Structure formats: structure tokens, C-alpha cells
Amino acid sequence: MTERAAHLVDAVVPRVPVRQWVLTVPHRLRYQMAWNHGLSRAVLGVYTRALGDVYARGARARGIEGGQTGMVTALQRAGGALNTNVHFHTLALDGVFTEEPGGALAFHPAPGPSDAEVATALATIRQRVQRLLVCRGLEPAGEATGPADRLAEESPVLAEIVGAFS
């Protein structure tokens, strides 16, 4: 783990401001993501696209077109009590890069996000994850209760263990 962190610092993350973002999800979704790697990856995609949008919108509002940010995310599967708590820790370049005439890259730092920007990003993530769950048949449209528990059907003992620690 130390080697990976050193590699990120030395060879991947440029020397620009970085902001940590953390996404937690409701208990029911943590349980589903704990055993469904494809779902975890899809939720991660929704989350990182929404974060990228935050930086792109902010840059456009400051007159910067075509800016791109970057980020690296670690998926954490447990909480401090070793309970099932799937969530994401993301280090995002806190701004955007643009290509200057001649091909050089210029970094444009972002101001800290406002509460409204964070709320908008969270609402977008929530809506897109809900749509993702409906499309995958993991959540019926318009219902508060979910579908049958596939993990419990396939492996009831594992479902009990995961559920006990959620």
C-alpha cells in the first residue's frame, strides 16, 4: 500500500492542489455493492462523472472552456468497526487543465465548492444511481421496497454475514 501511494505521489498526481471527496451510500446499497463488483464499478462511474462535471461547470463559469480534471479513487469496503461499509475516497485535482497554443498544459485552480455545488452534485449522483439500479433490475421504479435479494437466494449464509455487519 505504501508503494502504491508513493507511485501516485511520484509519478501520477501532478503537483497541483488536490481535494478529497468521499461518497457514502445508503446501507441497502452498501450491502448490494459489497458482493456485486459490477454494481460498485457502475456507481463509481456515476460518481466520478458527476465530480468531473462539477469542475467542468465551475471552469466554464470562469470563462475556461474545454478544461479537464483528473482523479484517483480508492474503494473502501469496511468501516472503523470492520462493518460492511462500501464507500469511495477520491483525490481530485482541484481545478482543470487546458491545452495552450503550442501544446503546453496550463492548470486553472478551482475555488472551493459552495454548499449549493455540493448539493447539486449529490442530487445528480443520487438520481443517476437510482436510474442505474432501476435499469439493472435492482430497484423497482417508483417503489420504496426493493426486489428479491439475489445474494440471499444464491448464498443465504453469506447474505446473513454481510447483513449482520452492515
Following DSSP, what letter does each residue of 86-152 receive, concatenated?
A: EEEEEEEESEEEEEPTTS-EEEEEPPPPPHHHHHHHHHHHHHHHHHHHHHTTSS-TT-SS----HHH
Domain that holds residue 137: 17-164
Give pLDDT < 50 ranges for the chain. 144-147
Residue 2 belongs to a domain: no
The pLDDT tens digits for 88-129 are 999 999 999 999 999 999 999 999 999 999 999 999 999 999
Residue 77 belongs to a domain: yes
pTM of the model: 0.79
Residue 56 belongs to a domain: yes
How is residue 54 written as a grid cell? 462539477
Reference 123, options 58, 53, 55, 65; nearest CA is 53
Residue 141 belongs to a domain: yes
What is the reported pLDDT for 144? 46
Residue 9 belongs to a domain: no
What is the reported pLDDT for 156? 62
pLDDT > 70 in the chain, percent: 82
What is the reported pLDDT for 27? 84
How is residue 94 written as a grid cell? 482541484
89 alpha carbon, distance to own chain's centre: 8
What is the reported pLDDT for 139? 77
Residue 67 belongs to a domain: yes
Cell 481535494 belongs to residue: 19
Q: How many CB atoms lie within 10 A of CB 65?
A: 9
What is the reported pLDDT for 130? 93
Q: Report the Cα–Cα distance between both ends of the chain, in Å, rounded.
A: 25
Residue 75 belongs to a domain: yes
Residue 10 belongs to a domain: no
**How many structural domains does the chain have?**
1
